[in-house]
């Protein structure tokens, strides 16, 4: 549906038709990311999920490199072909590509380890199911329907999930520059085509560093500083962009900004790591935090109004404020987890028990 509505947007002949197409495009797209997170949580254990999530996010970040380059090529070569404007070809081509990949994914990606798949042997499916059973050992009822009900109820009753969801909203407001990256590159004074090409290098660096940051976070079982440091780097970029209109310096600020996006990925991994004994709650919490963070996307879309350009100083200041808020909330959550770990350690010592589960802080 996502690809079909993308194609229909390119075929729109009036504002109202384009508006309707964009509405359904957003509606179909909204389920993608939480759906992928849910599928990943059903196939990978808690200590494996972070790396798989960074693969997903690196793919999304890579699209920020490929997207502008593809758009630049299409807009520069397809205008007037078969009587269609270049912007229409952009939707036609990208929508068709999405439909083609979806047709392949329908047969290649099973919903659960128990779902029959042509590329998995019976033994491999049994191993995949056993891994997940071991990962949720202790859950009384993990059938799909009951898991949905109990998982949602547990999430709504857990203040920490709400806390992380609000922090995610702040992170998304900070990251709102992503959707306006071509606009920010255009403030450097180059042509639209050159500006699109200039969008690629910051995201190439961002994708590369994101992979290593999350890998290091998984290996060291540490989340807080791996969230805070990218946020601080992003704040440096926002500050630089606020203080100058120098072309070279301002372009360098985009590289700093592109480093901040990985903080959201690690935050989602933290959500998963903080729910050790319930796969249903973990799946719902991941979807809940991601969906709730969409409020940040909505608010962030109003930060980059044309009247604030070309400096966008107000926009950058709001991003800095949102970054500070999210960093503060993450710090409070870390203190909470540290106290839980200390409490567990005291109880184990008092009862003479071996060291048990510890939250990743």
Exposure pattern of 202-222 as b/e (b: 16+ CB <10 Å)? bbebbbebbbebbeebbeeee
* Residues 293, 190 share a domain: yes
pLDDT tens, 83-118? 878 878 888 887 888 888 877 877 778 777 877 777
Q: What interhelical angle do 224-243 and 247-258 show, nearest 10?
A: 160
Is residue 171 domain-resident? yes
Which of 65, 89, 113 delimits the end of a domain?
113
pLDDT given at position 142: 45
Distance of CA 186 to the CA centre of its chain: 25
> Per the structure, how many domains does the chain have?
2
pLDDT tens, 195-250? 888 888 998 898 888 888 888 887 888 889 999 999 999 999 999 999 998 999 99
* Residues 169, 80 share a domain: no
Cα separation of the two ends of the chain: 40
* Residues 273, 163 share a domain: yes
Residue 321 confidence (pLDDT) above 90: yes
Percent of the chain with pLDDT over 90: 26
Residue 23 confidence (pLDDT) above 50: yes
pLDDT given at position 138: 37
CATH number at residue 354: 1.20.1250.20
* Residues 180, 74 share a domain: no
Is residue 62 domain-resident? yes
* Residues 240, 349 share a domain: yes
Q: Which residues contact 205 (CB under 8 A, 6 or more apart)?
A: 255, 258, 259
In whole angstroms, give the CA distance from residue 64 to residue 77.
20
pLDDT given at position 21: 79
The mean-pLDDT minimum among 54-68, 165-179, 328-342 falls in 54-68
Is residue 212 domain-resident? yes
* Residues 353, 241 share a domain: yes
What value does the mean pLDDT of the chain take?
Answer: 83
In the 8-state DSSP scheme, what is residue 189?
S
pLDDT band for position 61 (50/70/90)? low
Instruction: Give SS3 for 284.
Output: helix
pLDDT band for position 64 (50/70/90)? low
* Residues 349, 222 share a domain: yes
* Residues 327, 215 share a domain: yes
The more confidently predicted of residues 202 and 356 is 202
pLDDT given at position 323: 97
pLDDT tens, 139-182? 344 444 444 456 778 888 889 999 999 999 999 999 999 888 88
pLDDT given at position 65: 66
pLDDT given at position 295: 92
Q: Are 21 and 12 in contact (CB under 8 A)?
A: yes
Domain span holding position 102:
1-113
């Amino acid at each position: 549906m996502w690809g079909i509505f993308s194609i229909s947007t390119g075929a729109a002949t009036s504002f109202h038709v384009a508006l309707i197409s964009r509405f359904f495009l957003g509606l179909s797209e909204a389920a993608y990311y939480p759906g992928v997170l849910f599928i990943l949580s059903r196939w990978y254990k808690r200590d494996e999920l972070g790396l798989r999530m960074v693969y997903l996010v690196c793919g999304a970040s890579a699209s920020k490199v490929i997207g502008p380059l593809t758009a630049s090529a299409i807009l520069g070569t397809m205008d007037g072909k078969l009587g269609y404007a270049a912007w229409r070809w952009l939707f036609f081509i990208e929508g068709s590509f999405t439909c083609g990949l979806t047709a392949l994914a329908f047969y290649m990606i099973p919903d659960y380890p128990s779902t029959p798949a042509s590329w998995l042997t019976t033994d491999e499916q049994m191993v995949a199911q056993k891994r997940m059973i071991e990962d949720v050992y202790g859950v009384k009822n993990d059938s799909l329907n009951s898991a949905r009900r109990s998982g949602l109820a547990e999430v709504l009753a857990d203040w920490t999930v709400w806390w992380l969801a609000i922090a995610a909203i702040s992170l998304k407001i900070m990251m709102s520059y992503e959707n306006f990256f071509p606009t920010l590159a255009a403030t450097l004074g180059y042509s639209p085509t050159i500006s699109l090409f200039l969008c690629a290098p910051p995201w190439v660096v961002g994708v590369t560093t994101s992979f290593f940051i999350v890998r290091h976070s998984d290996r060291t079982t540490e989340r807080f500083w791996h969230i805070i440091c990218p946020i601080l780097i992003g704040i440096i970029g926002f500050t630089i962009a606020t203080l100058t209109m120098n072309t070279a310096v301002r372009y360098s600020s985009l590289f700093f900004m592109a480093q901040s996006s990985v903080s959201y990925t690690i935050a989602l991994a933290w959500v998963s790591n903080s729910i050790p004994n319930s796969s249903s709650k973990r799946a719902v919490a991941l979807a809940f935090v991601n969906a709730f963070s969409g409020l940040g996307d909505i608010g962030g879309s109003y930060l980059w109004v044309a009247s604030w350009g070309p400096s966008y100083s107000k926009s950058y200041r709001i991003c800095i404020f949102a970054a500070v808020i999210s960093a503060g909330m993450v710090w409070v959550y870390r203190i909470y987890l540290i106290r839980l770990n200390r409490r567990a350690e005291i109880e184990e010592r008092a009862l003479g028990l071996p060291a048990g589960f510890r939250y990743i802080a």
